[in-house]
Structure 1
Amino acid sequence: MKEYTVQLGDTLAKLCYRYQTRKEDMLAKNPSLSSNGYLYPGKRIYLPEPIKGLYQENICYYEYGFRELEKDRIELSVQHGVTSEAIGTSRLGTPIWLFRIGTGHKKIFYSGTWHGNEWLNSWLLIQFIHILVQKQAKEETWYGIDIPALLKEVTLYIVPLVNPDGAELVQTGRVAKEKEMARILSINDGMKTFDHWSANAYGVDLNHQWPAGWKEEARTSPNRPFPRHYGGIAPLTEPEARAIYELTMREDFSHVIALHSQGEEIYWGYRGLEPEESKTLAERLGRVSSYEPVHTANSQAGYKDWFIKEFRRPGFTVETGRGQNPLPFQSSARMWVTAMPLLLESCLFPNFAT
C-alpha cells in the first residue's frame, strides 16, 4: 500500500484528484481523516488504488489557490505565450498575477477572488483564459464569436486571484507564513475553521477598501480586523487593493467586471454616476447568463463603485454562484455554463475609453 506525507497546501480533494481516487476510498483507507477537515503537513496517509477516467473536464474537483495558479501560469506561458506580470504582492508576500490576452485597443479588466471563500472564480477565470488561447490557436469560434478576430480588437487584463492569502486560509486552514497564524486566530476568535473568511490575512475586506462611500460603509461595518466586511482604517491601505488601484489608474480600461459568487446577479450602478448605457449592457449580460441585473446592492466602497465614480464608465459586480460560500465543487459546472458566455458578451461592448 502506497503511503504519502502531507505537504503544505494539500487538501483531501487535491490528493484525490492528483492520485485519481474517490474521497470515499481515501477516507476508508484513513479513518482518522474527516471529509470536512483540514490536512496538516507531516501527516502520513495511505493512498488507494487509482481509478482511470474518474474525473471529467470543465469541472473543478479541488481547491484552486496560488499554487495551482502558478502551475497554470507557467503552462500558459510555455504552451501559448500568454504574458503575465506580478502587479504586487499580498500582505504575506504572495504575488498577485495579471494575465494579458489579445492585442486590441479596447481594454477590458476581469478580476476574481476578492473574498477568500469565493476562490471558485479564480478557477473559472483561468479556464476562460485556457479556452480563449486554444480557440485562438485553432482559429475557432466560441458561442458563435470568432475568437482570433475578437482578440485583435480587445486586450483582456485578468487578475484571477486578488486575495491569495484569504483563499489559502479558507482552503487549508493555515497560511504559508506560520508566524501569522496567531494574528489570524485572534481575529477569528480562536476558531480554527475558516469557511466564513472573506478578508485578507490582516482581516480587511478588499472589496470594502475603495474611496467610494467608504466612510458611510465603515459606519455599519466592523470597526476592527474581522473575517468579513471590515474596510480597514482608511481606503486603499491593503497592498492587494493598491495593486488593483495602480493597475486601473495605469491602464485605460473601457469597462470592468469583478467576479463574486453569491446570488447570480449583476450589479451595474453606483449613485447614478454610471453611463446611461450601463443598464442595457447589464441586461445583455443577463440574457446570456440567466443572471438578474440589479442597479445596486445595499453597500458601498466596492471596486466597481469606485471605478464608476472615478471614470464614469461601465463597471459590473457579477455574482456567479448561488448558495453558501465557499460553494461546493459541483457548482463549477453551473458557473461555467452561465459565466463563460457572459464574459464573452462583455467583450462585444463598445469601447468606452475612446
Structure 2
Amino acid sequence: MEVSVRLGDSLWYYSQLFELPLPLIMDSNPIEFQSNLRVAETVNIPGYELESYVIQQGDTFWKLSNEYNIPIDAITLVNPSYNPLNLPIGGEIALPRRIKTRLVNGKKEYHYEHLIEDLCKLKKTYPFIKLFKVGESVLGQDLYEIKIGNGPKRVHINGSFHANEWITSGIIMHFLNDYLHALATNTPLRGFYMYPFYHEVTLSIVPMVNPDGVDLVLKGPPESEPYRSNVLTINNGSLDFSNWKANIRGVDLNNQYPAYWEIEKERKEPKEPSPRDYPGDLPLSEPEAIAMAGLTERSDFSRILAFHTQGKEMYWGYMNLEPPEAARIASEFERVSGYKAIQVIDSHAGFRDWYIYKWKRPGFTIELGEGVNPLPLSQFEEIYDNSLGIFLASLYM
C-alpha cells in the first residue's frame, strides 16, 4: 500500500499507526527516506492494501474507525481530499486493511509464469524483500533470488534443479508467502515469531533453478528452434516429458559441479544429452549451473538447503568434509519433519556436494514426499506440513 507524506509524518509514526516494525517500513522504501521525508512523497506500507468503501448515510471516519478497527488517522491519511466530518453519501473512500490471506497458491502445476506473477505480487505487498536477477536459463528466462532480512546467518534455499520436481517451487513459494505474512502481522508460525529472524538471518531463496525444464515438463516443448527439435529427438519423439529432469539442453543441472565431477562423468550411463543424469561435457557448462555457482561464490552462505523429490529423506554429509554442526542440524530436521537423515550416499558433482566440498559448511539435500516424479498435487499439504519444520529449523538452528 502506498501513502502520501503529510507535514510532520515520519516512518516511525507510520510504524506506530499501522502496527508494523519500523525496520520493515524502512527496508520497504529508498534509503534516503530514512532521515528526511518530504511532503507529498510516496511511502510504501508493507502488508496492507486499500479497500474501496461506498459511503453510507451517517458514516464518519470515527464511525468507520470503530466499525472496522482502523485508526482514524490511518483512514484520514489515505483519504486526504475528504472532510472526515462531512462525507458525501455514495462517494467512495479507501480503507487501509491488513492482508490476512495468502497471495500465493503453490498447489498447482507451478511453471515459470506462475513464479513471475507471484514474485510481482509479493514484492508489491511486502516491498522489504529484495529481488535480484542472478542469471538466465538457456532460453533466456531470468533466474531470481529473493532476499529477506539483515542477519549475519546467511541461509540459502533452492528448488527445481530437476525439471519434473517442480512441486518444490510451489512448496518454497508457499513458505515464502507464509514467512512474509508472519513478519508483517507479527503472528507465529509453529509457535515461532518470525520478526527476530529478520535481524538474525539473511534468507536467500532461488525457487526455480531450471525454468526451461519445468516449462518443458508442464507445458511441452518450446516453439523456438533448434530447442524444440532437440528435445523431441532426445525424448525419442514423445511429447510426454514427465520423466525429464534435465535442462532444455539435456544436461542434469545437479550433476554439473566440480566436486569429483569426473567420477560421475565416467559412470553415468548417458554419454550424450538425455532426459536425466547426463552431467554435460564439462562441469559448469550450463548457464543455470553457472548462475547458482556464481551466487554461492558471492554470497558466503552459512548453510544451503536444496529441495528435491522424492523419498522423505535428507542427505547431509559429503566425503566427511561436513562440519560437526551438520549432524546436529540434520537431527533437528529429522525430528521436525519425520524425514530420515542420511549422512553418506555414493554421489558426486551435485550442488550440495560442491558446497560442502568447497566451504566445509552444512549443506542438505531434502527429498520431499515419496512416490514417482512428478509427485501428485494430492501430496502438497502433507509435503508442506512436513517441510515447514525444516524451513523454520534452518532459521533457528
Task: Tell me whether the two structures share a fold, i.e. TM-score over 0.5.
Answer: yes
Alignment partner, residue 76 of structure 1: 122
Cα distance, 1:220 vs structure 2: 1.5
**Partner Cα distance (1:161, 1:308) in 2:** 21
- Measured in 2, the distance between the counterparts of 1:237 and 1:203 equals 12
Match of 1:37 in 2: none
Distance 1:59 1:134, change over 3 A: closer
How far has the Cα of 1:58 moved from its partner? 8.7
| 1:296 to partner: Cα distance | 2.2
Please give the residue correspondences for 1:1-354 in structure 2 after superposition, counting only pairs within 5 Å.
60-81=106-127, 82-175=129-222, 177=224, 179-221=226-268, 222-349=270-397
- 1:113-140 CA distances to partner (integer Å, 9 max, x unpaired)? 0000000000011111111110000112
Q: Comparing both chains, which one has the higher relative contact order based on Cα–Cα distances under 8 Å and sequence gaps of 6 or more?
A: 1
Deviation at 1:176, TM superposition (A): 5.3
Distance 2:222 2:333 in 1: 36
Q: How many residues align?
A: 294
**Over residues 66-105 of structure 1, what are the superposed CA-to-partner deviations in whole Å (9 max), with x where a residue is unaligned?**
1000101110111111221110000111111110111111
Post-superposition offset of 1:179 = 4.4
SS in 2 for 1:334: helix
CA distance in 2, matches of 1:62, 1:321: 16
Q: Which runs of 5+ in 1 are unaligned?
A: 1-55, 350-354
TM-score by length of 2: 0.72
Distance 1:269 1:61 in 2: 31
Distance, in Å, in 1 between the alignment partners of 2:137 and 2:103 is: 31
What amino acid maps onto 1:132 in structure 2?
Answer: Y
1:59–1:333: 8 Å Cα contact kept in structure 2?
no
Q: 1:146 to 1:210 in 2, by over 3 A?
A: same
Cα deviation code 1:277-311 (max 9, x no counterpart): 21221011000000000012222110000000100
Give the Cα–Cα distance (whole angstroms) in 2 for the partners of residues 58 and 68 of structure 1.
9
What is the distance in 1 between the residues matched to 2:303 and 2:185?
28
Distance 1:247 1:58 in 2: 25
Question: Larger deviation: 130-139 or 275-284?
Answer: 275-284
In the TM superposition, what whole-angstrom CA distance separates every residue of 1:155-204 from its partner, at most 9, and x where no partner exists? 10000000001100110122253541101111112111100000000000
Equivalent in the alignment of 1:53 = none
In structure 2, list runs of 5 or more residues that go unmatched: 1-101
Q: Which runs of 4+ in 1 moved over 2 A?
A: 56-62, 175-179
Shift, 1:211, TM fit: 0.6
**Cα contact 1:59–1:332 (8 A) shared by 2:** no
Secondary structure in 2 aligned to 1:330? helix
Matched residue SS, 2:377: coil
Give aligned-pair identity as a percent: 38
Maintained 8 Å contact 2:315/2:365: yes
